[in-house]
Chain A
Amino acid sequence: MSQSIALSHDAHPASRGLMRWIKTTNHKDIGTLYLLFSLIMFFVGGAMAMVIRAELYEPGLQFVNPGFYNQLVTLHGLIMVFGAVMPAFVGLANWMVPLMIGAPDMALPRLNNWSFWILPFAFTLLLLTLFLPGGGPEGGWTLYVPYSMELGYSFPFLIFAIHLMGISSVLGGINIIVTILNMRAPGMTLMKMPLFIWAWLITAYLLVAVMPVLAGGVTMQLFDHFFGTHFFSAAGGGSPLLWENVFWFFGHPEVYIMILPAFGIISEVVPTFSHKPLFGRTTMIYALASIAFLSFIVWGHHMFTSGMPVSADLFFMFSTMLIAVPTGVKIFNWVATMWKGALTFETPMLFAVAFIILFTVGGFSGVMLSLVPADFQYHNSYFVVAHIHYVLVTGAVFAIMAGVYYWLPKWTGHMYSEFWGKVHFWISVISVNVLYFPMHFLGLAGMPRRVPDYAVQFTNLNMISSIGGFVFGAAQLIFVAIIFTTIYGGKKAEARVWEGAHGLEWTVPSPAPYHTFSSPPEVAG
């Protein structure tokens, strides 16, 4: 049905060259823009990480001064969260949501274009701060008061860049929610939606709910800094703790914004390569919703050592541990999906399996951190760095890579090189553990985070970690090479790229025509 539509008269972009990409309202073009932007930011943030690891290779100060080191740490965090991981997921949503629900495009195509085109300007504003007198922001990506009150010229640009990212995310989130609620093909009831769609519906809701809270919070910082208010200073009856509460009320849902779409991707990839339907589909949906709900009532676990009353510590400890229940449901269901399946291990499946194992490692260290008395020891140490990188790199980033390999043939019409995909996977999965696993031990041994220098007894583990970091960074060049060689050539991909794949996106040809589902497909009852 869709092949005939692909040949209609407006099957091509309305403009050519650069104007095509600036003016486009096509969800596939915008998805591509998001993904390329995210890839660039992944390397910008990654380059900062390389400098950080080079500096930490040995004790003492080698390459950068402590102030610039702190700027790198801060910008690395902000860029990876808002510039690399989030836009990658939004790019995947742009490409796949209309294809998976049988919609002709996103519900609000012009707004979709704007959501993307705000981002390059937001990051220009953020990176411009490096060239100001005094350099970029240094307080860490959490912008804690009173550090942030002492920032120099970079401060307003940092705040405004966050405002722009927030506008982009809220508009993008609204668009995705409306698309999913209003644009599904006839017969696709809510409970029949693919898990990736469910994950994104819930994620988009979180985006719309918490990005405005961050916007309000940084606005209060702007007022404290420039207009003489006292939101965050005790002298005027405010409190620095207020900022921590506002930030983490945003920040904890934010980390789930970065992991729920990953759960969605894994829930698509694992059944395909297990040649079995997803085990416990309905419970997977309820688990996603429970995690999203819990994300709003656990923010205090980032602040155990900040001096909250014991009753608050206890509440946040127990609510945090509760998250392990729905997350455990998801892990067990993925494993049960693989159980007695006809497993094949193409690159997306390898990344998915690595995700399940390594994300669980990150989950376990999360449970350790949720225990108040234990957290007093781990807090502000490399243990926290290890935890966040296990859940965000081997979690979110590995899931993004699984998704890219899974859908790349659908986007480009070509198969990627399975050999080089596997090379990329194995180098990445080994080096990433060399990179992050020693950080657990460093943290438990007492090495604090966010320092350019350290005591000599931490040298060996830091050297191992840095070597892993350099290899992991270099391995991502293979990823880029695979993506671009696949765009420009390779074996022709079929409509149903993977034998075990089901869903509407596999009913359209590869590459997916510029316009798909101009008249909606029927979804069987």
Chain B
Amino acid sequence: MSASADSYYLPHGTPWSIFGSLGLFGFMLGAGLWIDGLNSVGPLVMGLGVLTLILTQFGWFGTVIRESESGVYNQQVDRTFRWAMVFFIFSEVMFFGAFFGTLFYARLFVVPWLGGASNMFFTHALLYPHYRALWPTNGPAHVGGTFSAMPPWGIPAINTLILLSSAVTVTLAHWALKAGHRRKVIAGLVATIALGVSFLLMQAHEYYHAYTHLNLTLHSGIYGATFFILTGFHGLHVTIGVIMLTVILIRVLRGHFTPEHHFAFEAASWYWHFVDIVWLGLFIFVYWL
């Protein structure tokens, strides 16, 4: 376990990754058994898998945090973490890209084609003569029954303000950390986490509203499908971001980080800004236009 300022830190063996793999395997195997209704142990296997994954995260990140605080990471290791986080966020951007691509493809091509655009005259005339290609739509078969689209200028607009404000508070916390004002860091982080949690509560309320009042559900054709997959995965990422920021807050309370050395903080804030920008795309293309 040798390391110094001029040599790259290399761990010698890790116990964590095999638990991570076992956890993932249990998670997926259990989920498969459950969702297929093949065997009643499904939920149990899945639960054990998820638990193993969570414990693995505690162990693995805990090890990394201890190493970081003991000062074995030099500048080059820091650069490694930066590049890795950049490309991890890039992979997340592409993941959302698949769903945004789906939304644009459905709106620009599929729905007009079902209405007879391009060379699809006979598709429309023979299969769906009564279908009018308008957005939002639940398709020619009217699946899921009549529904209303989510209006943008209620909860979604408030949520936009919440997330944009949280980008400001997390940046204020970062400036304070660089200036060495620990109280302001804590205040900024607490505010950011509070804003994130309120966003999630608002989102939960919006889903409740959609299901109970608008009849907007997963079954509401392509509109419902794209609406819930985009906002749902975004909500999941906000949750992950809140967890990351909470870990950072606990570390700040324990006296971790220096004004020069605090990449974990920056990584969490990069992630938070990424979630923020995805939301702007959602607000514009899912709710507004």
Interface residues of A in 203-237 (CB under 8 A from B): 208-213, 215-217, 219-220, 223-224, 226-231, 233-237
Interface: A110 (CB within 8 A): yes
Instruction: Determine chain A's interface SS by DSSP, over half rule.
Output: helix
A211 touches B91 (CB 8 A): yes
A111 CA / B56 CA spacing, docked (Å)? 13
| Beta-carbon contact of B225 and A213 below 8 Å | no
Whether B83 pairs with A213 at a CB distance below 8 angstroms is no
A208 vs B31: C-alpha distance when bound (angstroms): 26
Q: Smallest CB-CB separation from B107: which chain A residue?
A: A237
Tell me, yes or no, whether B92 is within 8 Å of chain A by CB.
yes
- Chain A residues lying within 8 Å of B54, measured Cβ to Cβ, are none
Separation of A70 and B75 alpha carbons in the complex (Å): 53
Q: Please, how many angstroms separate the alpha-carbon atoms of A110 and B62 in the complex?
A: 13
CB distance from B29 to the nearest CB of A (A): 6
- The proximity string for A residues 47-88 relative to B, scoring 1 for CB distances below 8 Å and 0 otherwise, is 000000000000000000000000000000000000000000
Asked if B21 is an interface residue, CB under 8 A from chain A, the answer is: yes
Which candidate, B149-157, B163-171, B215-223, is the interface stretch facing chain A?
B215-223
A442 at the binding interface (Cβ < 8 Å): no
Q: In chain B, residues 18-46, which have Cβ atoms closer than 8 Å to a Cβ of chain A? A: 18, 20-22, 24-25, 28-29, 31-32, 35-36, 38
Contacts of A160 in B (CB 8 A): 28-29, 31-32
Nearest-Cβ distance from residue B33 to partner chain A, whole angstroms:
9
- Alpha-carbon gap, A183 to B219, bound state (A): 50
Residue B102 at the A interface, CB < 8 A?
yes
Are the C-beta atoms of B137 and A237 separated by less than 8 Å? yes
Residues of A contacting B188 in the complex (Cβ-Cβ under 8 angstroms): none
Q: Does A489 lie at the interface of the complex (its beta carbon under 8 Å from any beta carbon of B)?
A: no
Q: A174 near B91 (CB under 8 angstroms)?
A: yes
Contact of A170 with B by CB under 8 A: yes
Chain B residues closer than 8 Å to A164, beta-carbon distance: 24-25, 28
Task: Name the contact of B13 in the complex, choosing from A25, A104, A107, A237 (C-beta under 8 A).
Answer: A25
* B257 interface residue (CB < 8 Å to A): no
Instruction: Assess whether A238 is interfacial by the CB under 8 Å rule.
Output: yes
Inside 8 A of A173's CB, which chain B residues have their CB? Answer: 87
Q: A116-155, CB under 8 A of B: which get 1 and which 0?
A: 0110110011001000100000000000000000000101
- A521 interface residue, CB < 8 Å from B? no
Is B60 in contact with A110, judged by CB distance below 8 angstroms? yes
Chain B residues contacting A163 (CB-CB under 8 Å) are: 28
Chain A min CB distance to B35 (Å): 5
Asked if A156 is at the interface of the complex by the 8 Å CB criterion, the answer is yes
User: Do B98 and A208 touch across chains, with their CB atoms under 8 A apart?
Assistant: no
A114 on the interface (CB 8 Å rule)?
yes
Does A283 lie at the interface of the complex (its beta carbon under 8 Å from any beta carbon of B)?
A: no
Q: Which positions 169-226 of chain A face chain B at CB distance < 8 Å?
A: 170, 173-175, 177-178, 181-183, 208-213, 215-217, 219-220, 223-224, 226
- List chain B residues, Cβ under 8 A from A223: 218, 225, 229
Inter-chain contacts of A183 with B (CB < 8 A): 8, 76, 80
CB pair B84 A174 closer than 8 Å: yes
Separation of A163 and B17 alpha carbons in the complex (Å): 17
B21–A118 CB distance below 8 A = yes
A182 adjacent to B76 (CB under 8 Å): yes
Contact of A246 among B31, B98, B113, B226 (CB under 8 A): B98
Closest-by-CB residue of B relative to A310 is B119
Contacts of B91 in A (CB 8 A): 170, 174, 208-209, 211-212
Contact of A117 among B7, B21, B38 (CB under 8 A): B21
Does B143 touch A at the CB level, under 8 Å?
yes
Residues in chain B near residue A175, CB distance under 8 A: 84
Q: Report the separation of the CA atoms of residues A230 and B141 in the bound assembly, to the nearest whole angstrom.
A: 11
- Complex CA gap A506/B24 in Å reads 39
Determine whether the beta carbon of B229 is less than 8 Å from that of A210.
Answer: no
Q: Residue-by-residue, is B100-114 near A (CB-CB < 8 Å gives 1, otherwise 0)?
A: 011001100111011
A24 at the interface (CB under 8 A from B): yes
Contact B38 A132, beta carbon cutoff 8 Å: yes
Complex CA distance for A177 and B88, rounded to whole angstroms: 11
| Residues on A with beta carbons closer than 8 Å to the beta carbon of B183 | none
- Once the chains are docked, how many angstroms separate the CA of A519 from the CA of B7? 7
B110 touches A238 (CB 8 A): yes
Chain B residues with CB below 8 A from A120, complex form: 21
Cross-chain pairs A/B with CB under 8 angstroms, 30 sampled? A10-B12, A22-B18, A23-B18, A25-B11, A103-B8, A104-B7, A110-B14, A111-B17, A156-B36, A161-B28, A174-B91, A178-B87, A181-B83, A182-B76, A182-B79, A212-B94, A212-B95, A213-B94, A215-B95, A216-B95, A220-B225, A223-B229, A230-B219, A234-B110, A236-B144, A237-B106, A238-B221, A239-B110, A242-B105, A246-B102
A interface vs B, CB < 8 Å?
10, 13-15, 22-25, 103-105, 107-111, 113-114, 117-118, 120-121, 124-125, 128, 132, 153, 155-157, 160-161, 163-164, 167, 170, 173-175, 177-178, 181-183, 208-213, 215-217, 219-220, 223-224, 226-231, 233-239, 241-242, 245-246, 249, 309-310, 518-519
B residues whose Cβ falls under 8 Å from a Cβ of A: 2, 7-8, 10-18, 20-22, 24-25, 28-29, 31-32, 35-36, 38, 60, 76, 79-80, 83-84, 87-88, 90-92, 94-99, 101-102, 105-106, 109-111, 113-114, 118-119, 127, 137-141, 143-144, 217-219, 221-226, 228-229
With contacts A228-B219, A234-B114 known, what are 12 further pairs, Cβ within 8 A? A23-B13, A23-B18, A25-B13, A109-B14, A110-B16, A114-B16, A114-B21, A124-B25, A212-B97, A245-B105, A249-B101, A519-B7
